[in-house]
Chains A and B, each alone.
Chain A
Amino acid sequence: MLTISEVEHVALLGRLELTGEEKKLYQEQLSAILEYAKKLDDLDTGDVLPTAHVLPLKNVFRQDEAGSHLESERVLANAPERDGNFFKVPKIV
């Protein structure tokens, strides 16, 4: 069973703020899912290579040529807050 402080640690890593109720709910649900995932330990995978990707593609290269890009006005059009040609966020430092 995950502890509440483990739940809080994972929430911080995932940049989530959970209510007390959510912490308890996720503690139970994540513990149940992770317990179920322990089923994978039934299999001996000592000599098995991992598959991150099924396609037999290696590096995909292209010519280093300048292409077109979106105009900054269109890129900024969805910004919750902007200042001229910048995305605006609360003070960082």
Chain B
Amino acid sequence: MELHYMTARALHGMLKNKEVSAEELCRAYFSRIENLEEKLKSFITLTKTQALEQARRVDAKIKQGQEIGPLAGIPVAVKDNMCTEGVRTTCSSKILYNFVPPYSATVVEKIQGADMVIVGKTNMDEFAMGSSTENSGFFNTSNPWDTGRVPGGSSGGSAVSVGAGEAVVALGSDTGGSIRQPASFCGVVGMKPTYGAVSRYGLVAFASSLDQIGPLARDVTDCASLLNVITGHDPRDSTSAPGGYRDYTSFLVDDVRGIKIGVPREYTGGGIDAGVRQVIAQAVQKLSSLGAEIEETSLPHVEYAVPCYYIIAPAEASSNLARYDGVRYGYRVEAPGDVVDMFKRTRSLGFGSEVKRRIMLGTYALSSGYYDAYYLKALKVRTLIKQDFDRAFEKFDLLLAPTSPAPAFRKGENINDPLQMYLSDITTIPVNLAGLPGISVPAGFVDGLPVGMQLIGKPFDEGTLLKVAYSFEQNTDHHKQTPPL
């Protein structure tokens, strides 16, 4: 079997048995990347020199007979909104085109501490604002299943790198679906953990009450292994949860008997592509045949989730992005007049149109006279959406829905209609508003394009999500399909 489609678990065995060295593995991934990048464009920055050094350190440990961790020597891709000390971190924005962070994000320290090999920084929608990676300030990324289509977003580069075998696993961030939706579009596993489970220290902020870092992987086992590495309390993030962490691999048991799963009727009707509905119906059938107890339920307020989110997220973004002013780092306009002229022109030339649109929207929603009508109203509706989930979880262990209403769309299809683009997030956004964990797992195909099933869990119950996702995976072979590259 070719190295580039193997799982971390399988590669770990090969590394330990000295069937392959970490350096050989690293070189194999870079040769794969070099072959595919022209076509896919997953990466903004490649870190081959550092990667090879790290791989050789792992090889030295193996040679000395030291125990290595389950992800030691495994090539990992990192979304370009996580700070990497000494390695350019752009957020796919011209305003940060030359930014070299003086420190690393906690998650980056953690994956390095686990001896993982960072191959590069992946393309994304600028500041994670988008659902197609078409809002990158640099270039588009292509879906490996059909290069005329988008990979989803905003963690499009991370999802493609895993789906195309350019990395074994990747880190993404999810503010309204930005891990789960590209995972679904690219046929990989992607998880947004509970809000607070993974430190946001060193993650460039978009909407701080919604942002969460999570893993993308080829299968649920690798997803659980990476989750083990990145979760945990971090005193440097005041919203980091103090406890509730587990060994997530302990939940990888093929047994869903007696698990109660609710299927919200809002996500099985109109507005969902017929092919996607069929895939989800078959997945429900499969889980039911394995012994899960599945019933229809309702989340009556989720139809308000998109307008609620598109007030709250831009409001937080308009505040978070105020820091890009050309003073301390990043782009500064040539020959500024006075300071305000410098701020205005730096920001206008540095930010792309979607980012400016959201700063405008958020600034408006927070401005004098409109705060109560828009922002406060949205925060109250957020409470109602959260209560819908609380009620559903009194009866069910988890909820099941499509990850996205449709498979990957064509490049350019939604780019001129921001509202249409926003509506493609309807199935993922409520999960962020309620701070819940959600996972997308490959569940089938529509016209050759992958479709993900989303499982949504109680806060800090990633374990049950992983158990059900793992059982589904063990009894299906969707995750074993590879794109026609």
Contact = CB atoms under 8 A, between A and B. Distances in A.
B: contact size bracket? 35 or more
A54 B364 contact: no
Nearest to A62: B235
Nearest to A55: B196
A43 B388 CA distance: 14
B98 to A, nearest CB: 8
Interface string A69-93: 0100011011111000001011110
A85 to B, nearest CB: 13
B386 to A, nearest CB: 6
Contacts of A74: 102
Nearest to A88: B327
B361 A33 contact: yes
Contacts of B330: 78, 80
A36 B378 CA distance: 13
A12 to B, nearest CB: 8
A11 B374 contact: no
A16 to B, nearest CB: 5
A51 interface: yes
Interface in B207-251: 209, 235, 238-239, 241
A70 to B, nearest CB: 5
Secondary structure call for the A interface = loop
Interface in A1-22: 2, 6-7, 9-11, 13-18, 22
B391 interface: no
A66 interface: no
A10 to B, nearest CB: 5
B5 interface: no
A84 to B, nearest CB: 15
Contacts of A36: 306-307, 310, 419
A15 B328 CA distance: 17
A74 B377 CA distance: 43
A92 B339 contact: yes
A52 B239 CA distance: 12
Interface in A21-42: 22, 26, 29-30, 32-34, 36-42
Contacts of A38: 307
A60 B384 CA distance: 26
Nearest to B355: A16
A16 B344 contact: yes
A66 to B, nearest CB: 15
A30 B361 contact: yes
A48 B386 CA distance: 12
Contacts of A15: 322, 325, 340, 343-344, 347
B384 A45 contact: yes
Contact of A41 (B338, B363, B377, B419): B377
B133 to A, nearest CB: 20
Interface in B369-409: 374, 376-384, 386
Interface string B441-474: 0000000000000000001000000000000000
A26 B351 CA distance: 15
Contacts of A34: 361, 364, 374
Contact of B380 (A14, A17, A22, A49): A49
A52 B379 contact: yes
B348 interface: yes
Contacts of A42: 304
A16 B360 contact: yes
B318 A14 contact: yes
A90 to B, nearest CB: 5
Given A14-B359, A87-B328, A89-B327, A33 B342 contact: no
Given A13-B367, A80-B332, A43 B301 contact: yes
A51 to B, nearest CB: 4
Nearest to A73: B102
A64 to B, nearest CB: 14
Interface in B419-452: 419, 422, 434-435
A77 to B, nearest CB: 7
Contacts of B138: none
A39 B382 contact: no
Contact of A54 (B209, B340, B377, B422): B209
